[in-house]
Structure 1
Amino acid sequence: MATLTRRHLVLAAGTALLARPDAAHATPERMRAAIAAFTGGAPLRDGRVTLDIATLVDNGNTVPVAVRVDSPMTAADHVQRIAVFSELNPNTEVAVFHLGPRSGRAAVQTRMRLATSQRLTAVAQLSDGSHWQHSVDVVVTLAACIEGG
Structure 2
Amino acid sequence: MQSRRDTLRQTAALATLLASAGIAPWARANSPRHAFETKSVSEAVKALGGLNLTPHAAVTLQAPDIADNGAAVQMTIACKLPGVRRLLLLVEKNPAALVASFTVSEAMEPSLTLRTKMGETSDVYAVALMADGRALFSKSDVRVVQGGCG
Asked if Structure 1 and Structure 2 have the same fold, meaning a TM-score greater than 0.5 normalized by the shorter chain, the answer is yes
Aligned match for 1:55, one of 45, 65, 77: 65
Instruction: Note the C-alpha offset of 1:119.
Output: 0.8
Alpha-carbon separation, structure 2, partners of 1:136 and 1:64: 13
Alpha-carbon separation, structure 1, partners of 2:118 and 2:71: 7
Partner residue, 1:78 = 83
Q: TM-score, normalised by structure 1?
A: 0.69
- Answering whether residue 95 of structure 2 is matched by residue 93 of structure 1, we say no
For this pair of structures, how many residues does the alignment match? 112
Relative to structure 1, the CA distance from residue 131 to residue 31 in structure 2 (aligned partners, 3 Å threshold; closer, same or farther) is closer
Relative to structure 1, the CA distance from residue 126 to residue 31 in structure 2 (aligned partners, 3 Å threshold; closer, same or farther) is closer
Relative to structure 1, the CA distance from residue 31 to residue 44 in structure 2 (aligned partners, 3 Å threshold; closer, same or farther) is closer
Q: Percent identity?
A: 26
1:59-92 deviation per Cα after TM superposition (whole angstroms, max 9, x unaligned): 1111101101012xxxxx3211001111111221
Does the 8 Å contact 2:87/2:103 carry over to 1?
A: yes
- Answering whether residue 140 of structure 2 is matched by residue 136 of structure 1, we say yes
Q: Tell me the C-alpha RMSD between the 2 structures.
A: 1.7
Q: TM-score, normalised by structure 2?
A: 0.68
Aligned match for 1:37, one of 37, 47, 56: 47
Alpha-carbon separation, structure 2, partners of 1:50 and 1:110: 14
Does the 8 Å contact 1:35/1:85 carry over to 2?
A: no
SS at the partner of 2:128?
strand
